[in-house]
Amino acid sequence: MTMQTYYKPRDPRLSTITMVERTIKESDQLLSKTQLWKTLPRKIMYPTFMEIMQYLEASNKIMYDKNGKIAWIAGDSPKLRRFFRNSVKLR
């Protein structure tokens, strides 16, 4: 019988979650998951990064476009406020 190795991602620390949030917010362009992971100021394990991304999506802070790029959509986004201010108002 062979033994399979199962890796359970570690629970991310609050400082790590806020680092990822800040990087997404301050990015000038939309990034893919891999691009975002590579541009983080501190390196983290990819499974931990994926755990953070699942949390951010579940809490409606980010969304993915059709190409898999990540957009920050939480209420404190200056880009989102600027978009709404310049958009056409519907009745």
Q: pLDDT tens for residues 1-27?
A: 566 666 666 789 999 999 999 999 998
pTM greater than 0.85: no
In the block, tokens 């983290």 appear at 44
E strand residue ranges, the chain = 62-64, 70-72
CATH of domain 14-86: 1.10.10.10
- Give the span between the Cα atoms of 40 and 62, in whole angstroms: 16
Domain ranges in the chain are: 14-86
| DSSP summary character for residue 60 | T
Q: Which tens digit of pLDDT belongs to each residue from 49-59?
A: 999 999 999 99
